[in-house]
Amino acid sequence: MSPNIPNLVYILVIGVLFATGVTLLLERSLTRVLMGVILLGNGVNLLLLTGGRAGGPPIVGTSAQEDMADPLPQAMVLTAIVITLGMTAFLLALAYRSWHLNGHDEVQDDVEDRRIMELADRDEGPGTADADTADGGPADGSPEARVLAEAEGGR
| Closest CB 50 distance from other proteins, rounded Å | 7
- Judged by beta carbon, residue 98 or residue 118, the one nearer other proteins is 98
Q: Which residues bind other proteins (CB under 8 A)?
A: 1, 4, 6, 25, 30, 33, 37, 40-41, 44, 47-48, 50-52, 72-73, 76, 79-80, 83, 86-87, 90-91, 94, 97-98, 101-102, 107-108, 110-112, 129-132, 134-138, 141-144, 148
Of 57 and 78, which CB lies nearer to other proteins in the complex structure? 78
What is the Cβ-side half-sphere exposure of residue 36, based on CA atoms within 13 angstroms? 15
Closer CB to other proteins, 117 or 129, in the complex: 129
